[in-house]
Amino acid sequence: MSMPATSSDRAKVVSKLPGWLRQSLKVRTAQLGIEIQTAVEQGIDAWCDLASATASVDTAGAESFSTFLPPGQWEEFRSIAEDRRVSLIQGLAQSVQLWLDTNPAPDVQRPDVTRRIVVCNQKGGVGKTAITAGVGEALSEDPNRLFPVRVAKALAAALRAGDAQADASDTDTDPLDIEKLPGHGLRVLLVDFDPQCHLTNQLGAAPLAMNGDSLTNHMAGEPKGDLRDLLVSVDDEHFGGRLHLLPACHDAFLLDVRLSAVRAREAALERALMPLEADYDVIIVDCPPSLGLSMDAAAYYGRRRDGEGPGQSGALIVVQAEDSSADAYDLLTNQIEDLRNDLALDIDYLGIVVNLYDGRRGYIATSSLQGWIDIKDPRVVGLITDLKEQKEAVRMKQPLLSYAPASQQAVAMRALAREIS
């Protein structure tokens, strides 16, 4: 059946499609950035132009499906389906399948130069580890599935209002503020560069043994094996083998001492990780709360390389909406500026992430948030609320985006990943 649509010159059509085919249609149109009604229109046109019906499609369990088509197209389709002795449901299913077959999923867009994201702040306890993991998880999600993402305009509105729906008892976002988008499908390496091993522990891996090989040994020029042998895959079922972790070792507490004897020590992290870069699209480094030589090496690793555009790699600074984060921010940016000037480097700021935000804390939180927004350069690129799902995921030693994929924090992590992509 069909009836005129009041909002356009199209006609509303109600038929049926099997759930699996409708889901494939949703994913593919999202991947290609077109509307579902446009895809169905194109599929029906192509089906009607064929000399005969295509191979039969399994329509068992077909459920109600509606869309809007140009006036007269559905009537023409009905007539041709009748001539071919094909039911309307089968004809529509064949049309959609034909469109899918002729509009394949786009290839994952991989960077020409492996992106390096250095997640940092001299202050501990701001949630650098959670942001490192969340961004890496979001970038490695399945490109053939749809995930809820907070749209950019919603982030902007939240920042303007100084409010991130901080009611900790409510984990649901306003459906008007989110949309379903495909995962990025990127190959991501998370590097635990902190001797406290928080990222390693939170993702359920074991810290490396003190008497074995480690990133510290490779940076100090004393490797005991291939760094690849230390990598751990993170939740293959959810991330499809695209997300890996380089665990930390407590020997990193001595890294600054060992680096003091290394020539060109600011490049030590780059020398260690360079052999791994061909295997990954993005490498994200979870830095320790330190302003020592290790932070110099991390900042140097995130510098802009030849052939790399501005903002592809650089420092992502994690803060909280309170005064001590501002003091630590000044110390960190001064160190990066000194490194920029001393070595004539381009080190880009990817932005500021205000983490663990709770507007119920009143003036301290809201005024501090406004202070971060007022900086402008670097700008605030993420606002992550202080809710229970992240804490639960840490307790369960599971990635947040597989533990609670529809939670408000997971939705915000995906938005952050897109803001800095």
**What per-residue confidence (pLDDT) applies to 364?**
79
Give domain limits for the chain. 2-102, 115-419
Report strand pairing: 314-319 vs 115-120.
parallel
Q: What is the mean pLDDT of residues 56-72?
A: 95
Q: What is the mean pLDDT of residues 101-118?
A: 96
Q: What is the mean pLDDT of residues 314-320?
A: 96
Q: Which residues have CB under 8 Å from 304's CB, separation 6+?
A: 310, 312, 313, 314, 345, 346, 347, 348
Q: What is the mean pLDDT of residues 255-283?
A: 95
Q: How do residues 170-218 score in pLDDT, each as one tens digit?
A: 444 444 478 899 999 999 999 999 999 999 999 999 999 999 999 999 9
**What per-residue confidence (pLDDT) applies to 150?**
78
Judged against a pLDDT cut of 70, whether residue 311 lies above it is answered with yes
Tokens representing residue 239 in the block: 């991330």
**What per-residue confidence (pLDDT) applies to 6?**
45
Q: What is the mean pLDDT of residues 302-318?
A: 96
Query: Is the CB of residue 234 less than 8 Å from the CB of residue 398?
Result: no
Strand partners, 382: 353
Burial of 345 (0-12, 13-18, 19+ CB in 10 A): middle
Judged against a pLDDT cut of 70, whether residue 71 lies above it is answered with yes
Strands across the sheet with 282-286, in order?
A: 232-233, 243-246, 188-192, 282-286, 115-120, 314-319, 349-357, 380-385
Secondary structure in 3-state letters for 297-357: HHHHHCCCCCCCCCCCCEEEEEECCCHHHHHHHHHHHHHHHHHHHHHCCCCCEEEEEEEEE
- Does domain 115-419 fall into CATH 3.40.228.10? no
Q: What are the backbone angles phi and psi of residue 64, rounded to the nearest 5°?
A: -55, 135
Residue appearing with tokens 């961004």: 135
Burial of 403 (0-12, 13-18, 19+ CB in 10 A): buried
Q: How many CB atoms lie within 10 A of CB 59?
A: 16
Q: How do residues 130-162 score in pLDDT, each as one tens digit?
A: 999 999 999 999 999 999 997 655 555 555 555
Query: Is the CB of residue 251 less than 8 Å from the CB of residue 214?
Result: yes
This prediction's pTM: 0.90
Judged against a pLDDT cut of 60, whether residue 4 lies above it is answered with no
